[in-house]
Amino acid sequence: MVTIPAQFNGPATSGNGGYAAGLLAEVHGGDVVTSTLRLPPPLDVPLTWERHGDDLTLVTAGGATIGQASPGRIDGDPLPAPTPDEVAEGLAGYKGFDAHPFDRCFTCGTARAEGDGLRVFTGPVGGGRTVGPWTPHAAFDAGDGMIPVPVAWAALDCPGGWAADFTSQLMLLGRMTAHLNRRPRVGEALVASGAVTRRDGRKFHTATALHTPGGELVGQAVQVWIEVSAA
């Protein structure tokens, strides 16, 4: 059994996509995991794990499938490490400061305080990427000086959505494949980035990454975002 606490929301009444996908990945236990979200993850509701071979499923008490995790693969090179100038430019240009569809989002919400949300604010820079700084807060320490896997996946989540631009079309995370070279350390300076790789109708394919300012790749992901109506 597992429950997604209300703190880890994306939209106001459902779980942050990256956090839920990372929770699936953590329990699955693979090195590279693909998590597919079938329904908006409910908050503060007991959920159950089911295993079928290499696949893991998260279901409600009524049997509805919330998400599935399976072994994944990331093709191609990770996004390049941003320069210090790009980090400053991206933070200054973060569109969520002016208009935000989910301002209480655990990852990128501007209405969340330090230690309550991650406050990963990535704005546009040259080359079609979004970039911004992020320092993991001590409130998210897993007890070993590092942050847990679901929180790291959450940090890799929204930079992709902002690359596709939440302010132009409303989107929700549908699928995420990620690999962590290591878990981020509490208090270390990191840089988050995202980019759109292609669009297929209502689907936006994106890539994201976490680097240290010195260029070390901490983690990377590829995602599929699905455009939805405000209703």
Q: Domain ranges in the chain?
A: 6-227
pLDDT band of residue 11 (cuts 50, 70, 90) is very high
Mean pLDDT of 29-51: 97
What kind of fold does domain 6-227 have according to CATH?
Porin (2.40.160)
Three-point CA angle 35, 134, 18, nearest 5°: 15
- C-alpha 225/C-alpha 211 separation (Å) is 22
Q: pLDDT tens, 78-95?
A: 999 999 999 999 999 999
pLDDT over 90 (residue 231): no
Q: C-alpha distances in angstroms, 103 versus 70, 96, 154, 164?
A: 31, 8, 15, 17
pTM: 0.97
State the pLDDT at residue 128: 87
pLDDT over 70 (residue 116): yes
Q: pLDDT tens, 183-203?
A: 999 999 999 999 999 999 999
pLDDT over 80 (residue 150): yes
Buried/exposed 43-70: b ≥16 CB within 10 Å, e otherwise: beeebeeeeeeeebbbbeeeeeebbbbb
Q: Read off the tokens for 214.
A: 């010195």
Mean pLDDT of 172-180: 98
